[in-house]
């Protein structure tokens, strides 16, 4: 039997956490032959609920689950962790400004970055789910400087999967036959879902999505806004934000990263930009990537038309703004700490 892999889930008492931990324990994240140990972190007000989740994990008697730790202590939670899924964070509440949410999350991600850096395995793979996901990941990266930048990513796979879902519904084909859509940029409503290189595996071979849909108007407008606004549509319908699809996509993200993407297929991941496609280096930006042997690489050489260029730049502009807002928060926090 393989040695267990230790997976940290922060915010584990929340909705995504509740959907995610049983998927991990069933092998959806790391494989059906891979034993796991799950560390769950949440904050004091959620400590009782977290205990309940641990009780249920025990009650489900998952054969792959070798141990469960439920704690409100970040140091204990981060010890020896190989994969960290950061779902915990401060949610945006009604009437809150973006910068208020940002300042709460800057302090959370700063503290958790240090705990991870000091106690997790040095090659720990990190996936940030909590919003603002790209910028939280960037903060984490900046405050865990000894971690390789390539090990810090954020979740845009849900948006990617939503795009696959929309194409499959429109064409009435199985979602598993659609591939190579791309989500560019921020996990926010400025993201750019791009089908220019996407294909469908039909009985008559691989066909471009643009050719099969044959309605550029739909692809250039409604398709894009549906994917961009899908999170809001789910909140409207469920009165809660997407949880099972977010959890499932988090498993897809880690599984493909660790075990590799199928040949000829790419996925979208928020990763540290190296300047590819003219996106400013040093942002966490969603790119098309392939994975092999535990490493992602950005798909190179895709043709970018003017329509795409404008949208890729608009979402990168938003990320630059978020970054500068986060930096300001960090400066004002430092000044406050010096005063105290």
Binder among 21, 46, 167, 283 for ligand NAI (CB under 6 A): 46
Question: 36 vs 113, which CB is nearer to ligand NAI?
Answer: 113
Question: Contact between 241 and ligand NAI (CB under 6 A)?
Answer: yes
C-alpha 48: how far from chain center: 27
Q: For residues 30 and 7, is the Cβ–Cβ distance under 8 A?
A: yes
Q: For residues 1 and 35, is the Cβ–Cβ distance under 8 A?
A: yes
Question: Contact between 54 and ligand NAI (CB under 6 A)?
Answer: no
Q: For residues 102 and 329, is the Cβ–Cβ distance under 8 A?
A: yes
Q: For residues 41 and 75, is the Cβ–Cβ distance under 8 A?
A: no
Q: Which two tokens stand for residue 50?
A: 């977290």
Which residues lie closer than 8 Å to 11 by C-beta, 6 or more apart? Answer: 17, 41, 42, 86, 87, 88, 89, 130
Residue number, nearest CB to ligand NAI: 14
Question: Contact between 14 and ligand NAI (CB under 6 A)?
Answer: yes
Within 73-102, which residues bind ligand NAI (CB under 6 A)?
87-91
Site string for ligand NAI, 274-303 (x = CB under 6 A): ------------------------------
Q: For residues 41 and 9, is the Cβ–Cβ distance under 8 A?
A: yes
Q: Which two tokens stand for residue 242?
A: 């997407």
Binder among 21, 41, 84, 115 for ligand NAI (CB under 6 A): 41
Q: How many CB atoms lie within 10 A of CB 125?
A: 25
Question: 34 vs 287, which CB is nearer to ligand NAI?
Answer: 287
Minimum distance from residue 152 beta carbon to ligand NAI (Å): 14
Question: Contact between 243 and ligand NAI (CB under 6 A)?
Answer: yes
Which residues belong to the active site? 187
Binding site for ligand NAI (CB under 6 A): 10-11, 13-17, 41-43, 46, 87-91, 108, 129-131, 133, 155, 158, 187, 241-243, 246
């Amino acid at each position: 039997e393989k040695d267990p892999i230790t997976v940290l889930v922060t915010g584990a008492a929340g909705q995504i956490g509740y959907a995610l931990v049983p998927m991990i324990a069933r092998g959806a994240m790391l494989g059906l032959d891979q034993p796991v140990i799950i560390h769950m972190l949440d904050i004091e007000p959620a400590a009782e609920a977290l205990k309940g989740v641990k009780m249920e994990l025990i009650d489900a008697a998952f054969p792959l689950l070798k141990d469960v730790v439920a704690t409100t202590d970040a140091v204990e939670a981060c010890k020896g962790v190989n994969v960290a899924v950061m779902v915990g964070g401060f949610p945006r509440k009604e009437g809150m400004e973006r910068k208020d949410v940002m300042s709460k999350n800057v302090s959370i991600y700063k503290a958790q970055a240090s705990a991870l850096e000091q106690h997790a395995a040095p090659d720990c793979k990190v996936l940030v789910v909590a919003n603002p996901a790209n910028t939280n990941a960037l903060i984490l990266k900046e405050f865990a400087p000894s971690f390789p930048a390539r090990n810090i990513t954020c979740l845009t796979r849900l948006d990617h999967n939503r795009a696959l879902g929309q194409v499959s519904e429109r064409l009435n084909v199985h979602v598993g036959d659609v591939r190579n859509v791309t989500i560019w940029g921020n996990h926010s409503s400025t993201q750019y879902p791009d089908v220019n290189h996407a294909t469908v595996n039909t009985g008559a071979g691989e066909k471009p999505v643009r050719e099969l849909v044959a309605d550029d108007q739909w692809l250039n407008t409604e398709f894009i806004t549906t994917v961009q606004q899908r999170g809001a549509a789910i909140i409207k319908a469920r009165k809660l934000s997407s949880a099972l699809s977010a959890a499932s996509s988090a498993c897809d993200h880690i599984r493909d990263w660790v075990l590799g993407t199928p040949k000829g297929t790419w996925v979208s991941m928020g990763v540290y930009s190296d300047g590819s496609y003219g996106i400013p280096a040093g942002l966490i930006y969603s790119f098309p990537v392939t994975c092999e042997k535990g490493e992602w690489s950005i798909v190179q050489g895709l043709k970018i038309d003017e329509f795409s260029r404008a949208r890729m730049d608009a979402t990168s502009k938003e990320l630059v703004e978020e970054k500068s807002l986060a930096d300001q928060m960090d400066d004002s926090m430092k000044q406050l700490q010096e005063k105290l």
